[in-house]
Amino acid sequence: MKNLILVFGIFLVFGFSSCDAQFGKLLKQVGLEELNTDEIAAGLKEALSKGTSKGSDQLSVKDGFYKSIYKILLPPEAKAVTDKLRVIPGFDKVEENMLEKINRAAEDAAVKAKPIFLSAIKQMTIKDAWNILKGEDNAATQYLMRTTQTALYAEFKPVITESLNKFGALNYWSTEVNKYNQITLVKKANPDVADHVTNKALEGLFKKIAEEENDIRHNFASRTTDLLKKVFAKQDK
């Protein structure tokens, strides 16, 4: 890792063509003469593309959210509703039914993440690459959060709303909330379920991407191309 950081430091100090000879000499001194800045940036982009594609694919399949550590739970307001309703005959499975519906919606939306991630990765600059290399093990994930979260939310929420409708979740929830609100002496509930599911889906997605990033940084077996092996072999030193 230190060698890669030194490469970018040298690059930033000496620039491009005017100092090619001196830059090459310094690369040789630190044992990185076979790598250039284009290769390093390409390696990082390939690692990000691999990690984001794998993460999006795994979460977008059936049970990608629902039966995984990324399972989306009900918001506290909703939990209060289901706790009250489950004691009423016929409503004992209200929470289980709602949980499945909201997680199915998140799985539908996850497929939309890949093109947004790939667009952000293509726009990554040398400066971005430098910051990722000198950053923490989740620095690439943090970069993606900064550059894609707004676009992802805008893309996810309509899909999640549509999916919640498809699985009957919005009508189901509206019906249950109305019944709950008829109970005397309870605080009236009206949670925005689509917003909650969207935010939790994005939270799970970025956690998954961070895991993939960490795996590529530290697990040789995850570097499945020659470029990844070449670039990240230098990070291991």
Cα(214)–Cα(208) distance, rounded to whole angstroms? 10
Arithmetic mean of pLDDT, 49-75? 93
Q: Are 186 and 87 in contact (CB under 8 A)?
A: no
pLDDT at 4 over 60: no
Cα(54)–Cα(215) distance, rounded to whole angstroms? 12
Cα(169)–Cα(104) distance, rounded to whole angstroms? 10
pLDDT-derived band at 86, boundaries 50, 70, 90: confident
Determine the pLDDT at residue 206.
96
- The domain spans of the chain are 44-227
Considering the chain, what is the average pLDDT of its residues?
79
In terms of pLDDT, which residue wins out, 130 or 107? 107
The structure's pTM equals 0.74
pLDDT-derived band at 79, boundaries 50, 70, 90: confident
Query: pLDDT per residue over 153-177, tens digit each?
Result: 999 999 999 888 887 777 777 777 7
Contacts 24+ apart (CB under 8 A), 184-191: 186/84, 187/80, 189/77, 189/78, 189/80, 189/81, 191/75, 191/77, 191/78
- Here the tokens at position 166 are 């498809």
Residue (of 33, 82, 95) closest to 183 by Cα position = 82
Using the CB atoms, write b or e for 50-75: b if 16+ within 10 Å.
bbbebbbeebbeeebbbeeebbbebb
pLDDT at 15 over 60: no
Determine the pLDDT at residue 157.
94
Residue (of 34, 11, 17) closest to 227 by Cα position = 34
- Here the tokens at position 167 are 């699985």
Report how far apart, in Å, the C-alpha atoms of 222 and of each of 60, 97, 100, 208 are: 21, 37, 32, 15
Query: pLDDT per residue over 115-149, tens digit each?
Result: 999 999 999 888 888 788 777 889 999 999 999 99
pLDDT-derived band at 193, boundaries 50, 70, 90: confident
Determine the pLDDT at residue 234.
59
Determine the pLDDT at residue 131.
81
Question: Which residues are CB-neighbours of 236 under 8 A, at least 6 positions away?
Answer: 220
Arithmetic mean of pLDDT, 200-221? 90
pLDDT-derived band at 8, boundaries 50, 70, 90: very low
Residue (of 35, 52, 50) closest to 231 by Cα position = 35
